[in-house]
Amino acid sequence: MANIKLDHIYKVYPNGVKAVSDFTMDIKDKEFIVFVGPSGCGKSTTLRMIAGLEDISAGELYIDDKIVNDVEPKDRDITMVFQNYALYPHMTVYENMAFGLQLRHVPTEEIHERVLWAANILGLTDYLDRKPRAMSGGQRQRVALGRAILRNPKVMLLDEPLSNLDAKLRAQMRSEIAKLHQDLQTTFIYVTHDQVEAMTLGTRVVVMKLGEIQQIDSPKNLYDYPQNKFVAGFIGTPQMNFFQATLLRKGDKIEIKFEWSDNKLTVDANDLIKVQPYYLDGKHKVWFGIRCEDVRLATSEDKDDLENVFNVKISHFEELGNETLIYGDINMQGDGFKETSTRIIVKALNSNNLKIGDVVKVKLNISKVHFFDFDTEVSIVPRIPTLNVISCKINGHELSFDGNKLTLPKVVEVSNGEGQLYLPISALSITPNGKFDATIINIEQVEDKKLAYLKLNERVLFLLVDDTAKIGDHVKLDIDITQITIKNGEKTLVSTLKKYNEISATFINYVSANTNEKNKYNPLLDSRISEVNKDYDDKLKEINIKYDALVKENSSKDLAAIKTENLKKIAELTNDTKEKLKQLEINYKKGVADVKKQHKVNKKEVVAKVKEEQEKIKKEENESYKKFLKVNKDKDVYHKRKAEHQDFKENYPKERENLINKAIDGESLIFETALNGIKAPYKRDKKMIKNSYKSAVKKLRDEYNIISVLNKQRQDEIVKLEKERKTALMKAKQIFFLKINGHLYQSPDTISNKMIQGLGTKVFVKDFTVEIPNDKIYVSDEGLKATVTSFLDYGEKKFVICNVKEEDGNEHEFYVLHDSEIKKGTEIHLSFELMDTHITEKSMNLRIY
């Protein structure tokens, strides 16, 4: 079972280039993850960081809940397949595959078994004794795969494994990799720049660009719900058509106007219900994207429906056999060749009756259109909208929108006027005592969440619901006023209540803290150390008890008798093994001699054959030339023929030599393969016999030396234990503190680890921002000193606003969820748990915890 967690991973090169920024992802066991993106997007770098071939600049990498940032590649239990296979050329296929296990001192028999198993899966059984250079590209890649699966790793990493193969082989290997994943049931991480591989192989695909994650989703969702314009354009061939457009809401209809084109669409507002209302004002430019399969040539039935029809001037065709791509332009002056924002590609069955330059009508499938913000290129049709935006009016403390009225609490400072009400979906909830009546008109399943469409008077609002809600239910809706924002253009009339309180902090170690605080923390250190010592003393006792029991159990045996008997057995075994090895060597030598003899004969034969053929060709040429001389009378022709003959005479020896060499090379390769076929198994068998002899002898010896063996075992265990104790003690002595406004907070080990992991020794000179959620900070007897400035009463929720003055004079406003009012000007103390906070490094803006 291997889960991988990448937690805010960064790769920054010494020259300051950020190759990977803030990569966060959870990979579940048995998933097939594909990293895809154009070259230079950091996908390979990320993979190499997981493999341990590149250092991680910041962030944490977990494999099975263990941080592996500083673990050597070989100890991460991963394997990797490289783009260029990276086979060891001086080893046979068998040795290539066995190398990793040999380095891990796996018993020879087990290696043999596993190699045969892997070779069987990949169809390499016949090639085990070949060297890589005698194999084709596809076979080599299969060996590389075999080497990887052999160790039964937790994670398989594949770095563009198919890009060196030709198209046909690639398709074949692709399905083999898919099958391998099914059979092995391990986690695969696969890097490719080919979106076809990404879509066909991945259970989830990570699209990357310039070191940043663009979207992580299933292939289907990437295609259907791209989160930004880059993903939309990257996934799918041919590329999605993009136009610049503006959207204008006119009652129940929305009018879409296009730049540089007279085309116009008018569609039902319900078709674009999730488009954020902010964009429907006819002023904000958006990208209008539609895939070519959602565009078709208009038929005679569409003639009367002129609303969703486009005029397109055809520029050229791409014939694909089963269908035709029609390239055109929605701008009648455009040329349709360049990738402009007016070019359109239409998929059609054929191009019959169409000519270049024709203007045709095409119909768009409006429900498949994607919209993106013009500047940020982020989708403005999110699957789960985070915001509901409604026009509203404020008069006094009364907020009215869409015929609904809401009284704002007195504490909220408002100015009168019109504006836009921003309601995050987290601010809406269905409760029995809600203030508004609404109807659920639709429920959409998005991944594991349920999105409800709620009708409130004329408006449709979105919120997340649980399984109990059903379509058609009449429900009561409540709005959390602390989360609303009201804006009028750039001006904010009412703002969301701050969720997090910020304060700066520094990180210090035990010694500095203890010195500053006059040895206040000595007892803490002592208790931590004694805890560890006690733990290990107990373990040590256990080992000794176990040893005593075993010694007692064995001391009753007659060891001398066992010794004589076993010595006899060893002598027998030695003779036996010698005999076996001798036989093996005889066979081997005979085999090699045979092959060599055969090779000599074959070589002679091959060379003779080539020579004979060449001789024949020479003879033929000479004869034909002689004949020609006899017959021909034309001088011109004679000169030509003579030159030809001269050419032949000159080139003949060279050609003959070449052919002979080629024949010898071919035969040598066959010879080498045959030789390896004898050598490699011989070496293998010899080793296996020797190893099994050694282990058998050791076992027999151990039987009569049992007491000293047991003692050695105990010693080993004690040494290991003491080593562990040493590291544990070292860890216990590592106590760190966060200094916040003069107070020292002992940093929990998880936070300390992350801080040091992320920043190294620089951690002590950096400044951090600690963000404390306003519902996780409490008024108490000690802690941060603060002065109350005011009190906010939202009805159900009440907040104390107070001022925290830092030592350097900076003041921070804190919002504290509190039940009762505290008088203005009162000095209070605030306490909180560090585990509830977020910690960010200030200068690089690295999120640490």
Partner 1 sequence: MAKVERYHSKKAKEITSKTIIYIILVIMAIIWLVPFIYLVIQSFTESYSPSQIIPEHWTFQNYINLFTDEIYPFGRWYLNTLVIAIITAVLQTIITLMTAYAFSRLRFKSRQGYMKLILVIGMFPSFLGMIVTYFLLQLIGLSGSIFGLIVVYCAGAGMGYYVAKGFFDTIPRSLDEAAMIDGANKNTVFWKVILPLSKPIVVYTILMSFTAPWGDYMMASYLAQGKQELFNVAVGLQQMMAKGKDITYFPQFCAGAVIVSIGIMALFFWLQRYYVEGVTGGAVKG
* Chain positions contacting partner 1, by CB under 8 A: 51-53, 72-74, 78-80, 82-90, 99-100, 103-104, 131-135, 137, 140, 147, 164, 636, 639-640, 642-643, 646
- Torsion angle of the four alpha carbons 831, 836, 841, 844, in this order, in degrees rounded to the nearest 10: -140
Facing residues of 316 across strands?
327
Residue 166 or 319: the one with the smaller Cβ distance to partner 1 is 166
* CB closer to partner 1 out of 74 and 557: 74
Nearer to partner 1, 83 or 512 (CB): 83
Q: Which is nearer to partner 1, 14 or 825 (CB)?
A: 14
Identify whether the C-beta of residue 122 lies closer than 8 Å to the C-beta of residue 130: no
CB of 788 to partner 1, least distance (A): 55
Residue where the block lists tokens 């891990």 = 104
Do residues 315 and 336 lie in contact, with contact meaning Cβ atoms separated by under 8 Å?
A: yes
Which residue's CB is nearer to partner 1, number 2 or number 427? 2
Q: Which helix (H) or strand (E) holds 644?
A: helix 635-704
Distance separating alpha carbons of residues 561 and 264, to the nearest angstrom: 103
In terms of CB distance, is 74 or 626 closer to partner 1? 74
Q: Residue with structure tokens 């921003």?
A: 422
CA distances from 66 to 21, 71, 659, 753, 848 (A): 22, 10, 61, 12, 17
Tokens of 702: 């151990």
Residue 130: closest CA among 665, 664, 594, 674: 674
Beta carbon nearer to partner 1, 135 or 423:
135
Shortest distance, position 645 Cβ to partner 1, whole Å: 12
Measured from the CB of residue 76, what is the shortest distance to partner 1 in angstroms?
Answer: 8
Least distance between partner 1 and beta carbon 82 (Å): 5
Residue with tokens 């259907």: 224
Nearer to partner 1, 640 or 762 (CB): 640
CB of 784 closer than 8 Å to CB of 511: no
Question: In the bound complex, what is the minimum distance in angstroms from residue 359's beta carbon to partner 1?
Answer: 50
Smallest distance, partner 1 to C-beta of residue 504, A = 33
Q: Which is nearer to partner 1, 52 or 219 (CB)?
A: 52
Query: What number of CA atoms fall less than 13 Å from residue 763's CA on the CB side?
Result: 22
Taking the complex as a whole, the smallest distance from the CB of residue 110 to partner 1 amounts, in Å, to 15
* 767: β partners: 506
Contacts of 350 (CB under 8 A, 6+ apart): 323, 324
Contacts of residue 698, defined as CB under 8 A and 6 or more positions apart, other chains included, come to: none
Q: Which is nearer to partner 1, 74 or 698 (CB)?
A: 74
Residue 651 CA: distances (Å) to CA of 294, 559, 655, 663, 847: 63, 84, 6, 18, 73
Query: How many other C-beta atoms are found inside a 10 Å radius of the C-beta of residue 12?
Result: 17
Can you tell me the distance from the alpha carbon of 319 to that of 459, in angstroms, rounded to the nearest whole number? Answer: 47
> Cβ(129)–Cβ(98) under 8 Å?
no
Q: Report the alpha-carbon distance of residue 292 to residue 345 in Å, rounded.
A: 6
Work out the burial of residue 28: count CB atoms within 10 Å of its CB; fewer than 13 is exposed, 13-18 middle, 19 or more buried: middle
- Of residues 570 and 664, the one with the C-beta less far from partner 1: 664
The least distance separating partner 1 from the CB of residue 150, rounded to whole angstroms, comes to 10
Shorter beta-carbon distance to partner 1: residue 96 or 195:
96
- Residue 308: which of 253, 242, 373 has the closest Cα? 253
CA neighbours within 13 Å on the CB side: how many for 285? 11
- Shortest spacing between CB 634 and partner 1, in angstroms: 12
Minimum Å distance from CB 178 to partner 1? 23
Minimum separation from the CB atom of position 72 to partner 1 (A): 8
Instruction: Give the closest residue to 147 by CA, choosing from 107, 201, 111.
Output: 111
CB of residue 128 to partner 1, shortest distance in Å? 15
Determine the distance from the C-alpha atom of residue 546 to the mean position of all C-alpha atoms in its chain, rounded to a whole number: 47
Minimum CB separation of residue 161 from partner 1 in Å reads 12
* 153 versus 233: smaller Cβ distance to partner 1: 153
